[in-house]
C-alpha cells in the first residue's frame, strides 16, 4: 500500500467514526424531544464541539493528500468525497443541535408529537445509519436505497404540517408547540437531504455517475469518457 493509500484509508476511517458520532447525536436529539429530556438535550448541544473539532481535523488532513502527486481519477475523487461528506456530517450535527435546543425551549406545553412524527424520525435515523454504512462498505446499491427514501420523508413532513395546522385551528394544539414541531420536522427534513447528498457522493465515487433529483424521481447522468 502506497503512502497515499495508507493516509486515505486512515482518513476514511476517521470519517466513518465521525459518521457514527453524528448518528448517535441525532438519535439522542430525537429521544430528547420525544421525552422532553433536557439533560439528554444538553448532552447533544455540548457534543457539537467534538463534532466541530473532528470536522476541522478531517478537512485539514485532506488537503495534503491532494499535493502528493496522485493522478488517478478515482483517488482524487476519493479525497474530494471525504471533504464533501465531512461537511454534510457537520451540518447534520447542527440540525441535531437545533432539535435539542427546542427541548430547552419547550416550556409548559402539554402536547405530544403525532405518531407520524415518530415514523418520520425513525425513517430519517435509518437513512443516516444506512448512508454511513454505505460509506463504510463502499456500497452504491445501499446508497441508492437511501435516496429512494427521501420522498417518504417529504411526505411525512407534509402530513405532519397539515395535521398540526388543523389541530391548531381546532384548539387541540398549542400554537407554540406547533411552531416547535415545525422546527423539528424541518430539521429532520434537512438531515434527510444531507443523507441524500452523502449517498450521491458514494455513487459518484464508485460508478462515476452524477445522480440528479428530478420531480419525477432520481436519475443518473453518466459522465462522458475522456
How far apart (Å, rounded) are the C-alpha atoms in residues 19 and 93? 10
Give me the pLDDT at residue 113, please.
83
Give the DSSP letter of residue 114: -
How far apart (Å, rounded) are the C-alpha atoms in residues 223 and 207? 10
- Pick from 12, 222, 10: nearest CA to 138: 12
- Write the CB contacts of 215 (distance below 8 Å, at least 6 apart in sequence): none
How far apart (Å, rounded) are the C-alpha atoms in residues 10 and 167? 51
Give me the pLDDT at residue 100, please.
95
Looking at residue 154, which CATH number applies to its domain? Answer: 1.20.58.220
Number of separate domains in the chain: 1
Question: What is the phi-psi region of residue 160: left when phi exceeds 0, alpha when psi lies from -120 to 50, beta otherwise?
Answer: alpha
What confidence tens digit (pLDDT) does each residue in 84-98 have?
Answer: 999 999 999 999 999
Which segments of the chain have a pLDDT < 50? Answer: 214-216, 221-226
Q: pTM for the whole thing?
A: 0.90
Domain that holds residue 25: 3-222
Give me the pLDDT at residue 174, please.
85
Amino acid at each position: 500500500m502506497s503512502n497515499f493509500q495508507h493516509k486515505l484509508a486512515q482518513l476514511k476511517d476517521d470519517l466513518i467514526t465521525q459518521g457514527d458520532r453524528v448518528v448517535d447525536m441525532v438519535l439522542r436529539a430525537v429521544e430528547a424531544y420525544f421525552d422532553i429530556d433536557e439533560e439528554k438535550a444538553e448532552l447533544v448541544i455540548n457534543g457539537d464541539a467534538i463534532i466541530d473539532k473532528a470536522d476541522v481535523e478531517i478537512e485539514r488532513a485532506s488537503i495534503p493528500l491532494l499535493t502528493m502527486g496522485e493522478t488517478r481519477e478515482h483517488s482524487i475523487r476519493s479525497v474530494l468525497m471525504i471533504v464533501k461528506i465531512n461537511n454534510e456530517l457537520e451540518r447534520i450535527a447542527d440540525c441535531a443541535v437545533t432539535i435539542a435546543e427546542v427541548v430547552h425551549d419547550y416550556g409548559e406545553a402539554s402536547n405530544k408529537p403525532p405518531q407520524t412524527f415518530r415514523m418520520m424520525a425513525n425513517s430519517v435515523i435509518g437513512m443516516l445509519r444506512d448512508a454511513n454504512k454505505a460509506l463504510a462498505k463502499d456500497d452504491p446499491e445501499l446508497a441508492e436505497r437511501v435516496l429512494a427514501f427521501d420522498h417518504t420523508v417529504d411526505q411525512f413532513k407534509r402530513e405532519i404540517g397539515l395535521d398540526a395546522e388543523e389541530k391548531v385551528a381546532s384548539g387541540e394544539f398549542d400554537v407554540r408547540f406547533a411552531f416547535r414541531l415545525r422546527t423539528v420536522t424541518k430539521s429532520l427534513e434537512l438531515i434527510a437531504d444531507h443523507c441524500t447528498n452523502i449517498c450521491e457522493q458514494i455513487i459518484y465515487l464508485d460508478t462515476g455517475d452524477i445522480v440528479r433529483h428530478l420531480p419525477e424521481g432520481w436519475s443518473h447522468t453518466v459522465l462522458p469518457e475522456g
